[in-house]
Amino acid sequence: MKILVADDDSVSRHLMQRTLQKFGYEVILAENGREAAEILSRSDGPRLALIDWMMPELDGPELCREVRGFHQEGEYIYIVLLTSKQSSEDIVAGLEAGADDYITKPCQPAELRARLHTGCRILSLEEKLVQAREEMRYKATHDALTSIWNRAAILSLMQSELERSVRENKSTSVILCDIDHFKQVNDNHGHLVGDIVLQEVANRLKSIVRSYDAVGRYGGEEFLILLSHCDDSTLEARAEDVRAAIAATPIVAGAEALSISVSVGGVSCPKWSPELPMERILAQADVALYRAKSEGRNRTAVADILTTA
């Protein structure tokens, strides 16, 4: 693990470096508080810091306060103050400034090692908690089978995208696509093959849209696509790209090579406002999708432009 040693005394700094290297740490040195703050602010900076109380430019408590200020949302940095101060008032001041622990000079190597080991345990626990939180967040927003946005998440993104389109005075388009004859896939080949088809369709949809567009599983075999900065002049071509991406190549599921197609319905919203509810937009896209299916499937249809007028 990387550790920062901040001390304005060159001899003390390098003696501490040698000690910590014997403990197995990768040591980074700073000779004043301002340099230490710059190092700790980096995205790849150390998450463990041993800093002297008395330093030029920023002393130990000031450095603690600055680090806590710019790392409120980032990875936690465990800070140990190295000090000759031993009064309870000074110790309280250092801890209240943001230090996690302190060790008095001259420090014993065994005590130093134990206190830093405590910091490493806490950082390890924080990493596990962050990982668990991110896993929970992912599961709450992504479809378990296809790994794309789930219904609740894609609808939330749709609301955000419509609000952004107002701020940027840009048009947003919405596409609904439905796998043709999907029930027959399940009936004739089994649900495991059906799951593979859903996964591959989702993968192809993700690959055909731009990085700032969004694809979600709307329900069953239906998918919802949000096209940012896409108006009615380009919607039809984008919808056809989606259709073609699925129909172009059979989907291989075990020994089966299945010709799969989708029907696509789209609608463009050049002038959105809260007076135009999302439900109406989705309903219009659904009408277009139904028209594509009624005209023979494996087709695209675009609804009339939606406005609040």
Least confident of 70-74, 182-186, 206-210: 70-74
Region of residue 39 (phi > 0: left; psi between -120 and 50: alpha; otherwise: beta): alpha
> What pLDDT score was predicted for residue 307?
58
SS3 94: helix
pLDDT tens-place string over residues 136-167: 999 999 999 999 999 999 999 999 999 999 88
Cβ-Cβ contacts under 8 Å for 274 (sequence gap 6 or more): none
Least confident of 86-90, 152-156, 189-193: 86-90
105 vs 121, which has greater pLDDT?
121
> What pLDDT score was predicted for residue 107?
84
pLDDT tens-place string over residues 20-77: 999 999 999 999 999 999 999 888 899 999 999 889 888 999 999 999 887 656 789 9
CATH class of residue range 2-140: alpha beta
d(C-alpha 86, C-alpha 278), whole Å: 64
- What is the residue extent of each domain of the chain? 2-140, 151-302
Cβ-Cβ contacts under 8 Å for 282 (sequence gap 6 or more): 174, 176, 224
d(C-alpha 187, C-alpha 110), whole Å: 69
Angle between helices 109-141 and 10-23 (to 10 degrees): 70
Q: Which two tokens stand for residue 147?
A: 């790994």
Q: Looking at domain 151-302, which of 1.10.357.10, 3.90.1170.50, 3.30.70.270, 3.40.50.150 is its CATH number?
A: 3.30.70.270
Total residues found in the chain within this entry: 309
Task: Indicate the average pLDDT of the chain.
Answer: 91
**For residue 256, what are the β-bridge partners?**
253
pLDDT at 271 over 90: no
Q: In the structure, what pLDDT confidence band is assigned to residue 309 with cuts at 50, 70 and 90?
A: very low
> What pLDDT score was predicted for residue 270?
84
pLDDT at 306 over 70: no
pLDDT at 242 over 70: yes
Active-site positions read 221
